Amino acid sequence: MNELDDIDGLAAEYALGTLNSNERASVAARRQREPALNASIAAWNSRLAPLTDVIPPVAPPPGTFAKIEARLRSAVSSGAPIVADLTRRLKRWRATALVASTLAASLLIAFGAAQLVPKPKSKNLFAVLQKDAQSPAFLVSVNVDDRVMTVRPVSAKHEVGKSFELWIIHDSLGQPKSLGVIDDSADRKSVV
């Protein structure tokens, strides 16, 4: 079955009136946008039109419409179960919509407030110690909160009998201060 067969079948159901009200409304909306569906419905209407000539029209018994109106008026004024049930359903839907709207507004406010809270600044510092102008010798990271410095060798080569030592030089210290010897026994070297 292809798309044209689907459209033709849907058009036949629409023309015969076998669709429920929601489906019929959906097809009517599609008919405005889809020329192929509109043409198929028109073709089915013209094929089925001769049937209306064969069947004689039947008028409803006199007073039928007045009886329907009277029953509806009495049901509304007496608070019939159908009207009461519809009223309860309407109240339930309104309450559900109110709760859902309140929840959505709360989530929006909470999400918006979370976005406004400033994120804490990183307490980590990083440095690259250059071997020469082109290649880094070590990568250094400092966790300020834990007071831990991690030194990772990148291109520095360990020589037998020698060790790397990390120094800090700053005008406020006066003399350069040693931060410690870098242990070369693992990939990750820590100096406290």
What pLDDT was estimated at residue 40?
93
Query: Chunked in runs of 10, what are the mean pLDDT values of the chain (192 residues)?
Result: 74 89 91 92 88 80 89 72 73 90 86 73 80 80 82 80 82 85 58 48
Are residues 120 and 158 in contact, defined by beta-carbon separation less than 8 angstroms?
Answer: no
Report the Cα 145 to chain-centroid distance in Å.
Answer: 37
pLDDT value for 4? 65
Q: Which token pair is 34?
A: 């889809």
- Per DSSP, helices labelled H in the chain are 3-16, 21-33, 35-54, 64-78, 81-116
Q: What is the pLDDT of residue 188?
A: 46
- DSSP code, position 172: G
| pLDDT of the residue at 106 | 85
Per-residue pLDDT at 62: 92
Question: Whole-angstrom Cα distance, residue 92 to residue 98?
Answer: 10
pLDDT of res. 82 = 65
Under a CB-based contact definition with an 8 Å cutoff, are residues 128 and 153 in contact? no
Separation of alpha carbons 23 and 174, rounded Å: 86
State residue 79's pLDDT score.
65
pLDDT of residue 189: 45
Degrees to nearest 5, angle at CA 186 with 183 and 189: 50
Residue 70 and residue 76: Cα distance in Å, rounded? 10
What pLDDT does 39 receive? 93
Which residue, 164, 188, 189, is CA-closest to 178? 164
Residues sharing a CB contact under 8 Å with residue 7, sequence separation 6 or more, in sequence order: 34, 36, 37, 40
- Using CA atoms, how far apart are residues 150 and 182, in angstroms rounded to an integer? 10
